[in-house]
Structure 1
């Protein structure tokens, strides 16, 4: 029996880490996957990849800009209409933004990062949990009690330690860790698990301009960029019943960056 008999929802699934998470759900046996992204091209690429590699998987692509509340609400409604439930919600949509000290920032730049990374994630999570609270747990692979739903938020190792020149990004990711912990407390009585993953520098289009020998890469004990698959593996573990007693955690996937 698959670890993932239910419905997965992945935001930011048009590229990078989010794309790999959606693909990995299909690879691990999930047969109903909804993907959100702000661009249709990325959505269609992810959908095409999954359907070619894993025939029989039902993929629902929905164009959603997480800065727009109505698009999130309508997108979640489409998922429920087609699949009737959401079991594994991965809130991955996010941006990095400019690199400069606070006094050089425009308010609009700050707001764009917070509206995308934090406010958008919170609205997604709010809508997801509303439906999870109303559904019954699915059977698990080994008979242990299941949960009504699992939410994994995408934070960052820069939510745990700070980097120069990225005040808004750092703050948004720290806030995600805090919201994750709060929601884990609030929704434990409803049998919903809420955790987050804190990646370091991962080899995606977002980090393409960072060379392999950059100080930010070499400072980590493992001295390399991570791969999207390595982050996806952590996300799928937290989403699965094998993580049934993990609640409110911040799983760091950064090659040891934060311990150095």
Structure 2
């Protein structure tokens, strides 16, 4: 058995929800399709979806565009009808839809009921009900599968000033673990990927080398391709014995001790010889 064989998704239909933004979803769609899968590319924006799907199809990839709102019952139904119409068996799902608008940043004491409910609907409800629909079909048809949700390191740690987003992403991680246990006997794997700061057209983080050097142990923002490759791994047979897990793709942010300085040296260290060895001066 070779690595190429293990990564081969030929004969499998995989839904990518959030495929048309030109960032992580579009890059993931290309990667999954290039591994041989038929990709049901879902986005709420027809114009954006058509633009990117046309580009991907010009590369000879099997992409089926579906304009739908995964946050609605009708949208989920439209996605499932289209996915099940494909000759290849339904196998996978990746839910990428999520985020927090600038208007909903603020201290916990300032969060409105409307904002809280919107963040949970957008980041948790849409992910859960589409994942549920795919899981139901896989189980009813006795098909194996791999379901992957994009979470966030905000769901792993405290998230000052966007508590609703962090709480919703923590709930995503909980849903993934519970569904993984419930579906394990059906050979349906459920996992997640938790990105840190990733440079994409919609991320809203401009270049700032000094900030990234201080905040990220690897001293840079991540690339969408680095998240997409982790998702591909979880979809593939390479991760055939993994379920209920979260792959963290954050350049080391989530494991960085808060008492480290900009060079990841303990801020309270005073021994000159130690500091010189650490900084290789």
| TM-score for both structures, normalised by structure 2 | 0.83
Partners of 1:106 and 1:209 lie apart in 2 by 25
Q: Which residue of 2 aligns with 1:121?
A: 127
Q: Which residue of 1 aligns with 2:187?
A: 191
8 Å contact 2:142–2:186 — kept in the other structure?
A: no
SS in 2 for 1:45: helix
Partners of 1:201 and 1:83 lie apart in 2 by 38
Q: Which residue of 2 aligns with 1:101?
A: 107
Q: Which residue of 2 aligns with 1:70?
A: 74
The answer to whether 1:220 aligns with 2:226 is no
Q: Which residue of 2 aligns with 1:211?
A: 207
The answer to whether 1:131 aligns with 2:137 is yes
Q: Deviations over 1:66-85 (max 9, x none)?
A: 22122112221221123463
The answer to whether 1:150 aligns with 2:146 is yes
SS in 1 for 2:31: helix
| TM-score for both structures, normalised by structure 1 | 0.89
The answer to whether 1:20 aligns with 2:27 is yes
| 1:84-95 correspondence to structure 2 within 5 Å | 85-95=89-99
Instruction: Sort the Cα spacing of 1:223 and 1:127 in 2 relative to 1 into closer, same or farther, 3 A.
Output: same
- Which piece of structure 1 moves more, 77-86 or 37-46? 77-86
Query: Over aligned residue pairs, what C-alpha RMSD do you find?
Result: 1.7
Partners of 1:28 and 1:175 lie apart in 2 by 31
Instruction: Sort the Cα spacing of 1:224 and 1:47 in 2 relative to 1 into closer, same or farther, 3 A.
Output: same
For 2:13, which of 4, 7, 11 is the aligned residue? 7
The answer to whether 1:229 aligns with 2:225 is yes
Instruction: Sort the Cα spacing of 1:77 and 1:217 in 2 relative to 1 into closer, same or farther, 3 A.
Output: farther
Instruction: Sort the Cα spacing of 1:214 and 1:8 in 2 relative to 1 into closer, same or farther, 3 A.
Output: farther
The number of equivalent residue pairs is 247
Q: Which protein is bigger by CA-based radius of gyration? A: 2
Gaps of 5+ in 2: 257-281
Partners of 1:196 and 1:13 lie apart in 2 by 17
Runs of at least 4 residues off by over 6 Å: none
